[in-house]
Amino acid sequence: MLTFAAAMFLLVLTPGPGVLTLAGVGAAFGRAAGLRFMLGLWFGHNLVSALVISGLAAVLLADPLLRAVLAVLSIGYLCYLAFRIAFAGARIAFVTRARAPGLAGGVALQAINPKAYAVNTALFSGFAFLPEDPAGEIALKVMIMNAIWVVMHGAWLWAGIALNRLDLAPRTQRIINLAMAGTMLLVVALAIGAQMRA
């Protein structure tokens, strides 16, 4: 169980589209908008978990056409986010928008987030610690995942809000933007690699 919790912590700690966008919403729109978006991400996270646990994700993604369409949507959206971040100039702008994405935006982002499916599949298919009680194991995994998820995403939201309050030099802000864009492109490369192996 501790190995499972450590794996969940490390997988959520690594930046993906959800946490980077959440930090950006916090930086651009503040705590209230960030919390609404985080709630949407949480609902989306649990939706993806349910799809993976039930096997419905595997059934849906077994259709090559549907899998290709979802892959193109996911990869296209992640490339778009990376482009917006990289070319934000000399101000930290994880994602700039006129309005904050709300609850529905968070759910939608998780639904097309390849990292969400990969993380859930890895965690629910591996790290068995109650082989004699699979239902109990799934219930414990869901509780542990949600506890870690809320704390880690709350930390990313706080980081976005705090980073926006700093008066960083333009060069430092450009470096942060390029590092975040590079991280997003790494997620894209991993998603493409997963699609090619599928």
Tell me the average pLDDT across 66-75.
78
Interval 58-72 mean pLDDT: 82
Residues of the chain above pLDDT 70, percent = 83
Q: Tell me the C-alpha distance between 133 and 123, whole Å.
A: 16
For the chain, where are the alpha helices, taking DSSP H only? Answer: 2-13, 17-29, 31-54, 56-61, 64-86, 103-111, 114-125, 134-165, 170-197
Ordered by start, the domain boundaries in the chain are: 2-197
SS3 per residue for 109-145: HHHCCHHHHHHHHHHHHCCCCCCCCHHHHHHHHHHHH
pLDDT in tens, 3-56: 888 878 877 777 777 887 888 778 777 899 899 999 999 999 999 999 999 999
- On the question of pLDDT at 1 being above 60, the answer is yes
Cα gap 94→20, rounded to integer Å: 7
Instruction: For residue 30, report the phi and psi dihedrals to the nearest 5 degrees.
Output: 95, 180
The residues, any chain, with a CB within 8 Å of residue 21's CB and separated by 6 or more, are 37, 81, 94, 95, 101, 109
Residue 72 has pLDDT above 60, yes or no: yes
Cα dihedral value 179, 88, 13, 101, nearest 10: -170
DSSP state of 87: T
- Say what the pLDDT of residue 69 is: 83
Q: Is the dihedral of CA 23, 108, 124, 71 positive or negative?
A: negative
pTM: 0.77
